[in-house]
Chains A and B, each alone.
Chain A
């Protein structure tokens, strides 16, 4: 017999290393002779989309296309340290460092443009499409390439550092301000439990994720899908089967993870509420998007069959045993 159930879960997640641990990102922005912008930063693209959003941030600041950003993150000998690609901290921390470096470079570009345009102030100057121009008289402008040429052999290059705010907690009471910012979210799932096989199928899901401000909505949706798959694996499938220190399930034939074929339709709702300390208001969402999935599934299983599964993964064998004991 197949029984349907619905389940709900929420979560919060503190970004960064936390607890007063030095959480530092440094980035460099440089103007090339051809007018393009190079960003040097030791932030790894592990598949989360770092290179893209970390190109969008300086492109916005400097008024250029993403294609005009050359993003370099692969070599420790030419990039400054931006900390690890973990703790959902790269968009927030390194995004801030890149934004600051890009702003410093923009200020320098404008300073030179003031001289070249022979205007008495930077008020009323606009930086856009690779040029600086006078807002009320746009034909009077100077291109980035001209600025680069003007400074000759020198490099227009600015470095900036961002340090996240967190305080150490009291050792006796655990009181303090360990992380910032926090990210929030909610997830609902509908499952169908086959009471004869113990198999749990996810029929439908909805995720509403706080992101502060979405820098790239499609990349966020990609993270939500990936996070859902990981949470689903955690709740139902993944079992290392560690026996006396030996991992018995050490290949994908027995360590089962969800595939595209297992994934349900996930409705993804992006909730924006800008965080004042984030770059353009953005917060990190890499980890938050997997956290509420498993508990929502467990609550849905209870709703379907009236059994509290307090141990994961809820494999068919385990659920069938619980169903039989509960008869």
Chain B
């Protein structure tokens, strides 16, 4: 098929406005008579708390201080489970949990008011290690009978028998920590009322239609009465999936009847949004002397922090991708997502499939070394090709050009030849 436009490196249609500074980001929007919102956040990882806002309300220029009591609809949101409170009611489960939203005539007054709010904490035992949090005796972070959010089990073949037939085995433990999306534009937004009562929220997001539903539920009004405007977005990488300030702004605009703006500092941005799941990985992989992979066993423990966010989907994706792009006939994977009192973990570029290669790719190199085969040749013996079956039993019936990808890198860097000397000492 001859194509005219597809396949051509056309200049980005939004490029010029961005490089010339003309693109409008939420932080660039100003409205007449607008107020500023500031969030009071928890400094404790796990605690009951009480707020006294009397003194803060006396400050000249403080228009309103929203707390859990002011949430008109459901005081809950979340992408999978509605386990985030819009404003925490009695309990905080992580450092950074929002407890109140101050609406003031200036940012400075807002900051003053934050300091004037008295917070009384009654601290609870906090859990920071998911292995501890998994135990039956561990305190519960959410109501329920376990901190185990999800357990994905992958079973194929018979690993016990297969490991006995392996000529080489490697076993290792790996750890990847939480990391941040570090997008360039910290969270910023402005909300206002239209004459017909529609609440408009202009905010940098990556899923405006989902925000619309969540804002509507929290405000207790029909979805059609919420409009999300998505100006230029300065990076997202998964970090804008869970609502942070959208509901706070919408509530403030509806209650005060005035435009309300909020801008997070870089430090607050780190506290506000999700992180990449930290995962503790235990791997055992075995191959025959001919260099064919025969069996793999893995346990993946994901720290999902205080809220579930995408926990189930992330750790399921880890489990599904745990073998790497290799045919392994016998596989056993147990992948868990666990609540702790750490920052909450959710979506991030790679989404569970970015953690496991730290383990499976080092396992491949270790097996290759034991077999005295170079890592590229070893992979070529085992990779997915058209007709391969994955560990979940899925048939890959087209577009599997992994061999070509490997050959291109090999051609460019001459790996096989250079690996011959083994480790450069």
Query: Besides A10-B402, A273-B399, 15 other CB < 8 A contacts?
Result: A3-B424, A19-B316, A44-B236, A46-B236, A51-B13, A74-B229, A75-B227, A84-B206, A184-B400, A240-B179, A244-B128, A272-B401, A287-B354, A298-B361, A312-B175
User: When the two chains form their complex, are residues A12 and B324 in contact, meaning their CB atoms are under 8 A apart?
Assistant: yes
Report the separation of the CA atoms of residues A210 and B357 in the bound assembly, to the nearest whole angstrom: 17
Q: Smallest CB–CB gap between A266 and chain B, Å? A: 11
Q: Which of B139-165 contact A (CB under 8 A)?
A: 152-156
Question: With an 8 A cutoff between CB atoms, is A35 at the interface?
Answer: no
Residues of A contacting B182 in the complex (Cβ-Cβ under 8 angstroms): 233, 238, 252, 255, 257
Of B28-36, B67-75, B286-294, B407-415, which binds chain A?
Answer: B407-415
A190 to chain B: closest residue by CB: B413
Q: Does B321 contact A (CB under 8 A)?
A: yes
Binds B, one of A105-113, A116-124, A144-152, A167-175: A167-175
Contact B409 A186 (CB under 8 A): yes
Complex CA gap A17/B423 in Å reads: 41
Give A116 Cβ to nearest chain B Cβ, in Å: 24
Query: In the bound complex, how far is the Cα of B154 from the Cα of A131, in angstroms?
Result: 55
Report whether B210 and A186 are in contact in the complex, using a CB–CB cutoff of 8 Å.
no
Whether A269 and B412, one on each chain, are in contact in the complex, defined by CB atoms closer than 8 angstroms, is: yes
- Find the B residue at minimum CB distance from A246: B95
Assess the A245–B206 pair: CB atoms within 8 A.
Answer: no
Knowing A55-B13, A86-B206, A251-B266, say if A13 contacts B353 (CB, 8 Å).
yes
Q: A174 → chain B, closest Cβ, in Å?
A: 3
Residues from chain A with a CB closer than 8 A to the CB of B297 are: none
A-B complex: 5 closest residue pairs judged by Cβ atoms: A245-B45, A174-B154, A295-B361, A218-B9, A84-B207
B379 in contact (CB, < 8 A): yes
- Distance in angstroms from B41 CB to nearest chain A CB is 12
B22 within 8 A of A: no
Chain B min CB distance to A197 (Å): 18
B126 contacts chain A at the CB level, 8 A cutoff = yes
Closest to B310 in A: A86
CB distance from B148 to the nearest CB of A (A): 15
Near A by CB (< 8 A), chain B positions 99-121 give none
Cβ 8 A contact of B5, one of A60, A255, A286: A60
- A190-218: CB near B (< 8 Å → 1, else 0) gives 10000000000000101111101111111
Judge whether A319 is part of the interface by a CB distance below 8 angstroms.
no
Q: Interface digits, A294-319 against B, CB 8 Å rule (1 contact, 0 not)?
A: 11101100111110101111000000
Given contacts A84-B207, A208-B405, contact A174 B392 (CB under 8 A): yes
A212 and B404 alpha carbons, distance in the complex (Å): 12
Which of B48-56, B57-65, B254-262, B343-351 lies on the face that meets chain A? B343-351
Is the C-beta of B333 less than 8 angstroms from some C-beta in chain A?
A: yes
Known: A47-B234, A87-B351. A10 touches B126 (CB 8 A): no
Residues of B within 8 A of A274 (CB): 399
Enumerate 30 A-B pairs (CB-CB under 8 Å) in ascending A order.
Answer: A6-B415, A8-B365, A11-B324, A12-B402, A42-B209, A44-B206, A47-B236, A51-B14, A75-B227, A76-B209, A85-B206, A85-B236, A187-B409, A188-B413, A188-B415, A206-B409, A208-B404, A240-B177, A240-B178, A240-B275, A242-B128, A245-B126, A245-B342, A250-B266, A267-B412, A271-B405, A273-B404, A276-B398, A286-B349, A292-B361
Which of B235, B324, B347, B412 sits near A47, CB closer than 8 Å? Answer: B235
- Which of these, A6, A76, A175, A257, contacts B212 with CB under 8 Å? A76
Contacts known (A8-B376, A14-B317, A247-B270); A219 close to B173, Cβ less than 8 A: no
Q: What string of 1s and 0s marks CB contacts (under 8 Å) between A232-258 and chain B? A: 011000111010111100111001010
Partner of B350, one of A169, A290, A304: A290
Contact B361–A45 (Cβ < 8 Å)? no
State whether the Cβ of A73 lies closer than 8 Å to any Cβ in chain B.
yes
- Of residues 269 to 284 in A, which have CB atoms within 8 Å of B's CB atoms? 269, 271-276, 280-281, 283
Please measure, in the bound complex, the distance between the C-alpha atom of A27 and the C-alpha atom of B10, giving whole angstroms: 22
Contact pick for A186, options B6, B8, B10, B406, CB 8 Å: B406
Report the minimum CB–CB distance from B322 to chain A (whole Å): 10
Say yes or no: is A57 at the interface (Cβ < 8 Å to chain B): yes
Residues of A within 8 A of B366 (CB): 308
> Closest residue to A234 on the B side, CB-wise?
B179
Min CB distance A171 to B, Å, is 8
